[in-house]
């Protein structure tokens, strides 16, 4: 079975600063995908960034980047130049090719507050 662990239930960061959210996962699969999703208060969950396990290069999307350490099964999210709109729950998620269909396993989430 696959598991995803987010060890930081809550974090805060000053506006314009950088913050890193941690995620570790456990799997015996070799071909898988990792994601960070953002769920703002009372708003829809949206995909922030995706990493394919076979790609060595860390994914980046504007101010968001990941540090993917495959051997350590670690997948952290770095948010640069934090903005008030980044305040949200952030979920790390996993799926693998053998799942048969699109089935995500989520971590418990990290509540991020950006302080003005």
Partner 1 sequence: KAGVTQTPRYLIKTRGQQVTLSCSPISGHRSVSWYQQTPGQGLQFLFEYFSETQRNKGNFPGRFSGRQFSNSRSEMNVSTLELGDSALYLCASSRTGYRGAETQYFGPGTRLLVL
Q: What residues line the site for partner 1 (CB under 8 A)? A: 32-33, 35, 37, 43-47, 50, 52, 91, 93, 95-97, 99-109
Task: Decide whether 3 or 83 has the Cβ nearer to partner 1.
Answer: 3
Task: Decide whether 43 or 56 has the Cβ nearer to partner 1.
Answer: 43
| Secondary structure of residue 97 in the 3-state scheme | helix
Token pair for 90: 């952030």
Task: Decide whether 72 or 102 has the Cβ nearer to partner 1.
Answer: 102
- Work out how close the CB of 59 gets to partner 1 at its nearest, in angstroms, rounded to a whole number: 13
- Gap between the Cα atoms of 9 and 18, Å rounded: 18
């Amino acid at each position: 079975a696959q598991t995803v662990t987010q060890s930081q239930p809550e974090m805060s960061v000053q506006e314009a600063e950088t913050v890193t959210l941690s995620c570790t996962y456990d799997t015996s699969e070799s071909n898988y995908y990792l994601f960070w999703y953002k769920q703002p208060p009372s708003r829809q969950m949206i995909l922030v960034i995706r990493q394919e396990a076979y790609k060595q290069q860390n994914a980046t999307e504007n101010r968001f980047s990941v540090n993917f350490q495959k051997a350590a099964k670690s997948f952290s999210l770095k948010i640069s130049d934090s903005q008030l709109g980044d305040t949200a729950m952030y979920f790390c998620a996993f799926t693998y090719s053998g799942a048969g269909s699109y089935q995500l396993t989520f971590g418990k989430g990290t509540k991020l507050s950006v302080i003005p």
